[in-house]
Chains A and B, each alone.
Chain A
């Protein structure tokens, strides 16, 4: 049989059209595409570029002033209370001046009252967090939306590099299963398991509901919380009008917790 070049090209064209037809017809036959599920922030959630905390240490006279804040935090976050120091878990706690600010300020001939005030210390949610760089699994990360240094407990493999990297000792490791050490479990917040690191999360779960962090709420105005990069925020104004110090600024981590001394 003799087939002309023309005939072959015609056949090729036809077959191509036949192959292309079904998807086109299918698309035409189907109705409008089904709506896609959407994901978004909760209404009324508090947002900021970089959350920051301002602690007016002049208003904390003794450890009794700090305790309710620690209690509020540790209760809602299911932080276990373990008395043995090496297994202790803490999100925020009281430190002495010499421990909180050594290297930052002079300790020589310091006023007694200043030296013995309790200083509330917690994760500084640094702008340049060394723990995030140390984490091999990205379990700890700086949230781009609001600057909170967050932990994803699902990903933490318990290597404790972050604890070595953090100059503030803000992180604790679960050497034991924490559950038996939690007096009353807050059902709205998960616990942790043995083998993960944990720390303060600036109450990101409360911010998402439009509430201020638990410690700020419990402090009755001794702590202020707001957006560091918003010129109009109360925190920013107070930092500008008061003399404030931060912990270990010489290390360049840019802590977001400020202290009025």
Chain B
């Protein structure tokens, strides 16, 4: 064991490099995004389902909607409160949430999620503000 010095120096350098990002970014957590609601969405008070459910599980409901509309041809979703919605991403969801950049994209970018909805579905025209 004549390489003791070398090994220990190597280990220290290795640890320094590996831990550098943690040390460098300590105390600088990126604040979680805050989505902006449009006036229309605010006025409606509640989305299709509860806010908590929509925040965590909107992808589930979108998947259900796409499946039923495309494959079964059923287009009306009645929520537990008895309100009817036409199941459509572009025409129903984005009718209220017409601020895609401040609503969809903000969280998706933060979570590094890249849904490919907009490759086909038409996004609302950019809002002037």
Contacts and interface: CB of A to CB of B under 8 A. Distances in A.
Interface of A: 34-43, 45, 78, 141, 143, 145-146, 150, 152-154, 185-193, 204, 208
B70 A152 contact: yes
A39 B75 CA distance: 7
B129 to A, nearest CB: 20
Contact of A191 (B73, B86, B120, B124): B120
Nearest to B94: A187
A188 B70 CA distance: 15
Contacts of A153: 120
B76 interface: yes
How many chain B residues sit at the interface, stated as a range, is 20 to 34
B109 interface: no
Contacts of B119: 193
A191 B118 CA distance: 9
Contact of B90 (A36, A141, A190, A208): A190
B80 A37 contact: yes
19 contacts: A37-B49, A37-B77, A37-B78, A37-B80, A39-B74, A39-B78, A41-B75, A41-B76, A143-B72, A143-B73, A150-B70, A150-B71, A187-B122, A190-B90, A193-B116, A193-B119, A193-B120, A204-B73, A208-B75
Nearest to B123: A187
B79 A40 contact: no
Report which residue of B71, B82, B120 has the largest number of chain A beta carbons within 10 angstroms of its beta carbon: B120
